[in-house]
Structure 1
């Protein structure tokens, strides 16, 4: 019972700290964000001229989604084929990782790979959240044993030759058998934390091209690496190296993460201010 009470007190203290940081921020948002409910005339009273004020409280969850949607729209991600649900997961993790100090302070880049899409479609995005721009939108390969044109199987096991889902932090560059390459640190226990041991890295490959698709009906496949087109790999590696966020998504694949904590994401949103304002 004593241990339970200590845990409960710690949870209350955490919620209180988040509330102290979030409430002033939300108050400023309420002033800038139009209320969802319109002001309507009241049917009560004898004059018929009284006005009923709407309920002005908007939950942190609603405001958080509004801010994400504003950023999603500003970037034009929907027109580029990225679903809002995938973008929202990626942004939630990005904000969690910033709050946890796992990402570089001087780069506001988010790389998303969406394996809901087949290999014949451009399914890698690099977003600059400081300017709300898409720096890159291109093809990317999945692991040989993850599937043919579509990635359906994933693993964190060495020699599985499968892709691994979840959040990564980019690390340092090196020159290997694929030339210029970028180390990746898997951050989701049970899903991708063996990335370094498996040599899962970003690198270029000749089999990631429109010509390969025309000849084979799909991209070639890697040993688990998110392999890039040869003509873009240097630019992408140069941009995202050194502690930026990579999220590899597949819906309905049993993936979950501690970095999808919305409370922590809201707290990070307060301190970073990197999402577009709706005012």
Structure 2
């Protein structure tokens, strides 16, 4: 009987030691179990998802949310950062994803981070009715051209006070000057036309403005500022060499809300 009890005790002890050894070995062999990850690592991962890019911070500070699509502003910033303009204090973004009945032209003061003008703007007559959906660089197309431009000189023409645009994207808008695609005022670009027809009148491809805003806008953006005309157009997105570039850290130089530590560099 004593031998039986002794055998049971020895057996139980051996089983316990084997179990303890197995658990200890598992701990050393698997040091990175999910439940062993420090809680601060998880917190850092979650926090990084909430960090805004420099472009997002600038977009928020200018107050563009609910007015200009972030996608349009984001694409505009790629050109703004990578191209050389004589005057980088002012940019113009035209968002052709919006109908002509809405204020889709934005003149932005980048230095003081505010919108100077937000107005309606006409598109080319063969680009579409209420929405601009078709775009061309071809002579006689009477369509708008997308992409990046730089503004040049002003002149008095058949449409009055006008501003020359130089298209910067080969095969996309580089025929703008030859096509006489300029910024000018037009009677068909007005709220009264919208009220009467349900849309703006259309141009031969020019971004035409309301008469009363034409001169002040042209005088603000003339002589070397950036103009970017945006649309969700797959052909343009695929062919634009400028949009294939990456964001650079130039925007980090702006005194944006949140400070440098809040900026996710590209």
TM range (shorter): 0.7 to 0.9
Could you tell me whether the CA contact under 8 Å between 1:171 and 1:185 is conserved in 2? yes
The CA RMSD over aligned residues, in Å, is 2.4
Could you tell me how far apart the structure 1 residues matched to 2:168 and 2:233 are? Answer: 20
Could you tell me how far apart the structure 1 residues matched to 2:234 and 2:121 are? Answer: 19
TM alignment of 1:87-236, pairs within 5 A: 87-97=73-83, 101=84, 103-105=85-87, 107-236=88-217
Is there any run of 5+ residues in structure 2 with no aligned partner, and where? 1-33, 260-266
Could you tell me how far apart the structure 2 residues matched to 1:137 and 1:156 are? Answer: 26
Q: Deviations over 1:15-71 (max 9, x none)?
A: xxxxxxxxxxxxxxxxxxxxxxxxxxx9759xxxx8746669x99xx97x6111111
Q: In structure 1, the residue corresponding to 2:258 is in which secondary structure?
A: coil
Question: Given the alignment, which residue of 40, 50, 56 partners 1:69?
Answer: 56
Could you tell me how far apart the structure 2 residues matched to 1:186 and 1:274 are? Answer: 27
Could you tell me whether the CA contact under 8 Å between 1:67 and 1:275 is conserved in 2? no
Could you tell me how far apart the structure 2 residues matched to 1:222 and 1:277 are? Answer: 40
Could you tell me how far apart the structure 2 residues matched to 1:251 and 1:220 are? Answer: 22
Could you tell me how far apart the structure 2 residues matched to 1:267 and 1:68 are? Answer: 10
Could you tell me whether the CA contact under 8 Å between 1:96 and 1:261 is conserved in 2? no
Could you tell me how far apart the structure 2 residues matched to 1:44 and 1:168 are? Answer: 55
Q: In structure 1, the residue corresponding to 2:236 is in which secondary structure?
A: coil
1:94 deviates by 1.1
The 3 A distance-change label for structure 1 pair 269 and 71 is closer
Could you tell me how far apart the structure 1 residues matched to 2:36 and 2:196 are? Answer: 72
Could you tell me whether the CA contact under 8 Å between 1:104 and 1:243 is conserved in 2? yes
Could you tell me how far apart the structure 2 residues matched to 1:169 and 1:83 are? Answer: 22
Q: In structure 1, the residue corresponding to 2:215 is in which secondary structure?
A: helix
Could you tell me how far apart the structure 2 residues matched to 1:127 and 1:275 are? Answer: 16
Could you tell me whether the CA contact under 8 Å between 2:54 and 2:251 is conserved in 1? no
Number of corresponding residues? 221
Name which one, 1 or 2, has greater alpha-carbon Rg. 2
- Poorly superposed stretches of 4+, deviation over 6 Å: none
Q: In structure 1, the residue corresponding to 2:153 is in which secondary structure?
A: strand
TM-score of the superposition, structure 1-length normalised?
0.73
Could you tell me how far apart the structure 2 residues matched to 1:52 and 1:152 are? Answer: 49
